[in-house]
Structure 1
Amino acid sequence: MEESLDIIINTFHKYSVRRGDRDTLNRKKFKQFMIEEMPKSFKKEEEKEKIINDMMKEVDTNYDGQVDFNEFVALIGNILKTKHEESHENASSSVHGQGSSNGPNL
């Protein structure tokens, strides 16, 4: 788990732009992050731009045109929730509750 946390932090820093004393993702870097790190989020190529713009608006909760680390963490949390729900939808009832291919049953 700790390695996964480091990967998330390092991925943010891979795309972030240093401004003052804060790291942020501007619109260009957010788009680059989404395209490179989340390619399965786009079912159709022509939807990519709209989806990225909509996500940027949703994630940028302080409306400064940037995604700071706290906003990024909220995005990752929402993605994790969605993936978790999908794992339940894709699992058979006989497997549910007995662990999954996504990790141990905690």
Structure 2
Amino acid sequence: MPTQLEMAMDTLIRVFHRYSCKEGDKFKLNKGELKMLLQRELTDFLSCQKDPQLVDKIMQDLDANKDNEVDFNEFVVMVAALTVACNDYFVEQLKKKGK
């Protein structure tokens, strides 16, 4: 039976490939695929954002090799950064409650 971390890793891989296989390179997200992934998988995050250029900015930030696509390594960087930000927020909230 897989551990929670192994299941989380499997989920990350499956989510990425569910969207990357829609168009073009099956192992990379183009802008449309990235937008769809963000809209469907990070709904709460996007609903708080008011910037109409957000997907473009995320694409530029993630696309380290500047090929106009996001590969799995670049995608994982985004997920890790968001996870760290969420953890920082929750730790701060717990500290405030502890005072």
Q: Normalising by the residue count of structure 1, what TM-score does the alignment of the two structures yield?
A: 0.77
- Residue 53 of structure 1: CA displacement? 1.2
State which drifts further: 35-44 or 72-81. Answer: 35-44
Point out the structure with max Rg over C-alpha.
1
Larger helix share, 1 or 2:
2
Aligned pair 1:59/2:59, yes or no? no
Question: What corresponds to 2:28 in structure 1?
Answer: 24
Aligned pair 1:40/2:44, yes or no? yes
RMSD: 1.8
Cα distance in 2, alignment partners of residues 15 and 79 from structure 1: 19
- Residue 92 of structure 1: CA displacement? 3.5
- Per the alignment, in what secondary structure is the counterpart of residue 92 of structure 1? helix
- Residue 40 of structure 1: CA displacement? 1.3
Cα distance in 2, alignment partners of residues 68 and 13 from structure 1: 10
Identical aligned residues as a percent: 25
Where in structure 1 do 4 or more consecutive aligned residues deviate above 6 Å?
A: none
Aligned pair 1:86/2:81, yes or no? no
Question: What corresponds to 1:74 in structure 2?
Answer: 77
Question: What corresponds to 1:50 in structure 2?
Answer: 53
Aligned residues: 91
- Residue 63 of structure 1: CA displacement? 0.6
For residue 5 of structure 1, the aligned residue among 6, 9, 29 is: 9
Larger strand share, 1 or 2:
1
Q: Normalising by the residue count of structure 2, what TM-score does the alignment of the two structures yield?
A: 0.82
